[in-house]
Amino acid sequence: MHQPASPAPSLARRRTSLCLAALVTASALGLAQGGPETVRPETKRFDMRVVTTGLDNPWEVTWGPDGALWVTERSALRITRVDPQTGEKRVTASVRHLASATGPGGVLGMALHPQLLRGTGHDEVYVAMTYDDPSRPADARVADPASPFRHLRAKVVRFRYDAATTTLVEPVTILDGLPAGNDHLGLRLAFASDGTLHLTTGDRGGNQLGNFCHAVRSQRLPTQAEVTAGDWTTYEGKTLRLTTDGAIPPDNPVIDGVRSHVFTYGHRNPQGLALGPDGTLYTTDHGPKTDDEVNVLVAGGNYGWPHVAGLRDDRAYVYARWAESTTPCATMRFSDLAIPESVPREPESAFTRPMIAPLATLFTVPSGFDFEDPACGGVHFLCWPTVAASSVESYVGGPTGIPGWDRVLIVTALKRGSLYIVPVDASGQRLGGGISREARTQNRYRDTAVHPDGRTIFVATDNGGLVEARDGGVAKNVDNGGALLAFTYAGEAPTVASTTMSAPRAPLRDEALVPAPGTTGPPPPITRGQVAAGKTAYEATCAVCHGSTLTNGTFGTPLAGAYFRRQWSGRPVAELFEKSRSSMPPTAAGSLPAETYAAILAYVLEVNGVAPGASALPADAEPLRAWRVP
């Protein structure tokens, strides 16, 4: 992320200018909601080099005033400074005593004070993180008393940077008790030009996957009683504005008669947050199957979720309220593609309250779009028109910058290993041209920082996960996991026509994984009780990545269907058992009892056609070598 360095207009002035974003013309709307086919392929050439590797899920990268790249390592629970030339890493703070790396949590957003190392006494660094807080009431959504998510919360901690020791010291929690969970946390931090801090919060993944029986509360606003009591549980699907001490600024918007930290609401999983040169705040928000959003933040604005995804256009999205099903939700199986008759639903046009339209969507498709394209080989989410927009950077080229990028937003893509370049006009409030896709690799891009000369863009990459391959196929492995990459402008690319994003092809199965003839053998033993226990454990710890149906996850590989069969059919059950114990859950591999891994595996096998019987699946790898995955 960029360091903010611009004059501080008043909030009232910014409100006046930003409210113009809501007055979008029909022609601008048409430009804002292009489909994947409108993307221009690479228009620039970049020289790429690996700055450093060995980072543990880097989540935020920021160019610091000391000339170092400041990085949060989400699952390592630390902040690291990296020399952009040599790649040398130096741990600036380890916060294992302050944070918990449960699920998608850990050390996430970070904001350096604009006056850091300028001799003004503000050598402060702010960090958003998740932590365990048993002093507060348990999460009502988590029934299992042993679940690591039962007391998970989020907080913002202020540190002082000691330049003599190059460490962060004197941690002070300025705001805690914020909602967290096993999905959709948000938690990106940024300073506004008026010196306030802004923080994004996600909707905790309600109404989908393993959380589909939990309603989305992005439209729920705090009451005065809740604010007075310091109860922040309604801060889901919001952006928050706070002072550097964590207090509610006196000029925060009054929404439904209440002034709180809430600056905007109606968001899904806003993981991007950036300050423009004129004080405009931008955010990116993950869409469901379509319509990742690029938004201009307007004080008090409602962004529509979950009633609207992208524009209020009734295209390829309806709001299905699973928690209100006339058939008990707990007895149902969630589907992204087919909504049962018992589940109430409404088109986007049914939502008539005022809302702020996105500056752009990535991307919008017509109703009837094939979200289950067989070309994806069971990894359907990679074929969806979303890109998994994980961050946004405001970039102003200037005389030494990248030609043609006078004022653009740089959006990172987790699914497609690319930078999407979103031009904005001179006002900063509207789309200023066609979107292009740049700097492609076989990686999951998490965040960016820009060198002060404007010629080099640094990209932080996830350690792993499914991603579009270089040739448009599905890749199980990334090229540069847990790394910082540097892309330096090297000239203009040859002009080519616009093209669609290629649909990922089914991944070829490794020959080493093909079972030998005649080794299928008898099915492994499982019991109904073991399957039931495994289903409960799976939904608590696995569904958020692999999906509630084992095939509809948006991070983990499918555990049923064509893709799973290609990868596992005929292999010893012991290999699948050992694989799960060595890699799951991602931030605490091997932490579950062996019996729980066996129960989860029994559930996976039952979904894949194994019939329960009288004998249970052993919780030990050695006897499991006698059976093969069907």
For 313-472, strand residue ranges (E) read 318-320, 345-347, 360-362, 389-395, 408-413, 418-423, 436-438, 445-450, 456-461, 467-468
Closest CA to 109 of 390, 389, 297, 485: 390
| Half-sphere exposure in the Cβ direction for 529 (13 Å, CA) | 4
Say yes or no to pLDDT of 9 above 90: no
Question: Does 223 score more than 60 pLDDT?
Answer: yes
The third-level CATH classification (topology) of the domain covering 11-24+35-365+379-492 is: Neuraminidase (2.120.10)
pLDDT value at residue 523 = 87
Assess contact for 228 and 260: CB atoms under 8 A. no
**Number of residues written out for the chain:** 630
Q: What's the predicted TM-score (pTM) here?
A: 0.87
- Per the model's pLDDT, the better-predicted residue between 219 and 540 turns out to be 219
Task: Out of 35-44, 296-305, 597-606, give the one with best mean pLDDT.
Answer: 296-305
pLDDT band of 270, cuts 50, 70, 90: very high
Query: What pLDDT score does 89 carry?
Result: 98
pLDDT of amino acid 494: 84
Is 334:214 a contact under the CB 8 Å cutoff?
no
The percentage of residues in the chain with a pLDDT greater than 90, rounded to a whole number, is 68
Q: Which pLDDT band, with edges at 50, 70 and 90, does 448 fall under?
A: very high
Is 184 an active-site residue? yes
Q: Token pair for residue 630? A: 């069907």
For residue 406, pLDDT beyond 80? yes
Cα 77 to Cα 105: distance, rounded to the nearest angstrom: 10
**Which amino acid appears at position 525 of this protein?**
P
pLDDT for 538 equals 86
Options 151, 184, 198, 261, the catalytic residue: 184
Confidence grade of residue 585 (pLDDT, cut at 50, 70, 90): confident
User: What's the rounded Cα separation, in Å, for the pair 358 and 116?
Assistant: 33
pLDDT of residue 537: 85
Structure tokens at 204: 């905790």
Q: What's the average model confidence in pLDDT over 192-212?
A: 95
The Cα–Cα gap between 261 and 169 comes to 26
One DSSP character per residue, 44-68 reads EEEEEEEEE---SSEEEEEE-TTS-
* Closest to 485 measured CA to CA, from 463, 460, 452: 460
Give me the helices (H) in 151-296, please: 224-228
pLDDT at 487: 98
Q: Is 511-624 assigned to CATH 1.10.3720.10?
A: no
Q: Are the CB atoms for 108 and 157 separated by under 8 Å? A: no
Domain ranges of the chain: 11-24+35-365+379-492, 511-624
Instruction: Evaluate if residue 339 carries a pLDDT over 60.
Output: yes
pLDDT at residue 547, rounded to an integer: 74
> What mean pLDDT, rounded, does the chain reach?
88
- Which DSSP string corresponds to 10-47? -HHHHHHHHGGGGS--HHHHHHHT--GGG-B---EEEE
How does residue 93 score in pLDDT terms, banded at 50, 70 and 90? Answer: very high
pLDDT at 19 (0 to 100) = 41
Question: What integer is the mean pLDDT of 443-455?
Answer: 97
Pairing of strands 318-320, 345-347: antiparallel
CB-neighbour burial class of residue 138 (10 A; exposed 0-12, middle 13-18, buried 19+): middle
- Prior bond of 585 cis (ω within 30°): yes
Residue 196 in this model has a pLDDT that exceeds 50: yes
- Rounded CA-CA distance 277/4 in Å is 8
Three-state SS at 535:
helix
Asked if 103 contacts 587 with a C-beta cutoff of 8 angstroms, the reply is yes
pLDDT band at residue 554 using 50, 70 and 90 as cut-offs: low
Beta bridge partners of 40: 436
CA-nearest of 56, 82, 46, 32 to 482 is 56
Output the pLDDT for position 587. 61
Question: Whole-angstrom Cα distance, residue 585 to residue 600?
Answer: 12
Q: Is the pLDDT of residue 24 over 50?
A: no
CA-to-CA distance for 238 and 171, rounded, in angstroms? Answer: 25
Q: What is the tens place of the pLDDT at every residue in 464-501?
A: 988 888 776 778 789 999 999 999 999 999 875 444 44
- Express each pLDDT in 417-444 by its tens digit: 999 999 999 999 999 999 999 999 999 9
Residues 74 and 105: their CA atoms lie apart, in Å, by: 7
Range from 175-184, 308-317, 370-379 carrying the lowest mean pLDDT: 370-379
pLDDT reading at 385 higher than 80: yes
- Joined tokens for residue 417: 């290993």
Residue found under tokens 């306030």: 196
587 and 544 in contact (C-beta within 8 Å)? no
Q: Stretch 523-542: mean pLDDT, rounded?
A: 87
| pLDDT for the residue 499 | 44
First to last CA, the chain: 47
Helix (H) or strand (E) holding 573, with range, is helix 573-583
pLDDT at 381: 82
How many angstroms separate the CA atoms of 348 and 370, rounded?
Answer: 20
Q: What are residue 79's DSSP bridge partners?
A: 72, 93
Close Cβ partners of 399 (under 8 Å, ≥ 6 residues apart): none
Based on the number of CB atoms within 10 Å of its own CB, is 578 exposed (0-12), middle (13-18) or buried (19 or more)? middle
| Residue 557: predicted pLDDT | 76
Between 502 and 277, residue with greater pLDDT? 277
Q: What is the pLDDT of residue 504?
A: 41
Local structure of 85: helix, strand or coil? coil
Least confident of 142-151, 227-236, 567-576, 580-589: 580-589
- 515 has a pLDDT exceeding 70: no
